[in-house]
Amino acid sequence: MKKLMDGKALELLRGAMPPPERDDRPPTDLWPRVRRRIDQGGSPPPAADWVLVAILGLLCLLRPSLVSILLLHF
């Protein structure tokens, strides 16, 4: 097995993976789109999520030892 010198290895890598063409500016200003998304707000969580929260809360009230198990997972 031949050992490549560092210079030769770098030359081969540069030849195989040329640097990407860089354009420092995006084609359009993205901030107005970001601002619109922020102003729209998020959708409320689905009802199934609230049911799961209620079940977990009830289980933690009935079996306080489950709190430590849940804290380990989150």
Q: Which residues contact 4 (CB under 8 A, 6 or more apart)?
A: 12
pTM of structure: 0.42
Per-domain residue ranges of the chain? 47-74
Tens of pLDDT, residue by residue over 38-67, are: 899 888 889 999 999 999 999 999 999 888
The CA-based diameter of the chain, rounded to the nearest angstrom, is 68
CB 60 within 8 A of CB 67: yes
Give per-residue pLDDT as tens, 10-44. 888 888 987 777 767 667 888 898 899 889 988 88
Residue 10 makes CB contacts below 8 A (sequence gap 6+) with: none
